[in-house]
Amino acid sequence: YRNHVIMPVSPPEEQQMPIGRIADCRLLWDYVYQLLSDSRYENYIRWEDPDSKVFRIMDPNGLARLWGNHKNRTNMTYEKMSRALRHYYKLNIIRKEPGQRLLFRFMKTPDEIMNGQTERL
């Protein structure tokens, strides 16, 4: 036993997932909500007015890289990711704030979005 070095093992809660990876999160709107609730991602995306559900994308290219990493798509760009955001306009999930660059508003809470999805199935 004298020659063995015991390496400390971090408890599971201290081990971090790869940057941008969020468990059980398949859709972009859900991913955005998750990032907004985690202060580690404020350089990428942050609430401007949480009560009104208004958020700002701080680093569009960085956010796209995070989303691409999460989806295992290394070639993700903001242009591609924003196509999905625009799709949410039609579904009344997210809207762009008029006259403001990179400023958006959630039109529904996550629970309202999930309930709406199950009603259509």
At the second CATH level, the architecture of 28-118 is Orthogonal Bundle (1.10)
Q: Which of 31-35, 40-44, 108-112 has the lowest mean pLDDT?
A: 108-112
- pTM (2 d.p.): 0.78
List all residues 6 or more positions away from 67 whose beta carbon is below 8 Å from its beta carbon. Answer: 20, 28, 31, 76, 81
List, for residues 58-101, the tens digit of each pLDDT value.
999 999 999 999 999 999 999 999 999 999 999 999 999 999 99
Using DSSP, state whether 31 is helix, strand or coil.
helix
Each domain of the chain, given as residue ranges in start order, spans 28-118
Higher pLDDT, residue 28 or 118: 28
